[in-house]
């Protein structure tokens, strides 16, 4: 909740120019299609994210599921909350869409934190100790590889991770392009560092995610 609240003002400001430009109903609220477009646009602008459910379906901005199309991808409790309070037939406000965007960002950040903790554990790294550039790069590589493989690293042993990723570059020929995102993210959020604390790596991965 604290993370969501801290993001709310930032996302309200980021959404406002788009929301102002969109058509409104007599009570000043957006349609589902317009609100979905605003949600999609703010994540593309802020992070380059194309969210499942928020991107258009076959060229249409009309959502095909609840919570502006992203309901399927939210935890049940969060989905039900927004279905009750956001999916309003009278339209969508800037405040409502900003709250949804803040909740999604907070969920993404929380997932990065949990997965990175598990990656440290699997690689026998101490979250309280700084890592060298080499070790930090290895942690980031394993983190990204397990995501691309669709693996739940929180349930895997070190041996299982090594086995699953040993032929990774063969299975994913575009891996080098994905790795190329890391230096760019590092320059943006952890520029000039020679050693990396857990939260430094978290910020790099949040930027990539």
Split at pLDDT 50, 70, 90, the class of 121 is very high
- Strand pairing class (131-132; 195-196): antiparallel
Can you read off the two tokens belonging to residue 184? 């760019």
| Per-chain mean pLDDT for the chain | 91
85 exposure class (CB count in 10 Å sphere: 0-12, 13-18, 19+) = exposed
**pLDDT at residue 88 is higher than 70:** no
pTM for the predicted model, two decimal places? 0.77
Instruction: Report whether pLDDT(103) > 80.
Output: yes
């Amino acid at each position: 909740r604290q993370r969501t609240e801290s993001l709310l003002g930032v996302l309200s400001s980021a959404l406002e120019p788009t929301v102002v430009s969109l058509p409104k109903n007599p009570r000043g609220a957006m349609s589902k299609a317009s609100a979905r477009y605003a949600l999609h646009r703010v994540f593309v602008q802020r992070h380059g994210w194309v969210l499942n459910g928020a991107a258009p379906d076959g060229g249409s901005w009309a959502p095909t599921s609840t919570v502006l199309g992203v309901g399927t991808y939210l935890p049940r409790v969060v989905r039900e909350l927004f279905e009750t309070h956001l999916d309003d037939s009278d339209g969508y406000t800037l405040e409502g869409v900003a709250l949804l965007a803040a909740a999604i960002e907070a969920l993404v950040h929380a997932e990065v934190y949990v997965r990175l903790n598990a990656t440290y554990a699997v690689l026998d790294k101490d979250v309280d100790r700084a890592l060298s550039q080499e070790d930090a790069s290895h942690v980031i590589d394993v983190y990204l590889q397990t995501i691309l493989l669709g693996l739940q690293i929180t349930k895997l042993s070190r041996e299982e991770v090594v086995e699953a990723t040993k032929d990774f570059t063969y299975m994913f020929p575009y891996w080098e392009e994905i790795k190329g995102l890391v230096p760019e993210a590092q320059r943006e959020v952890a520029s000039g560092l020679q050693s990396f604390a857990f939260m430094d790596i978290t910020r790099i991965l949040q930027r990539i995610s």
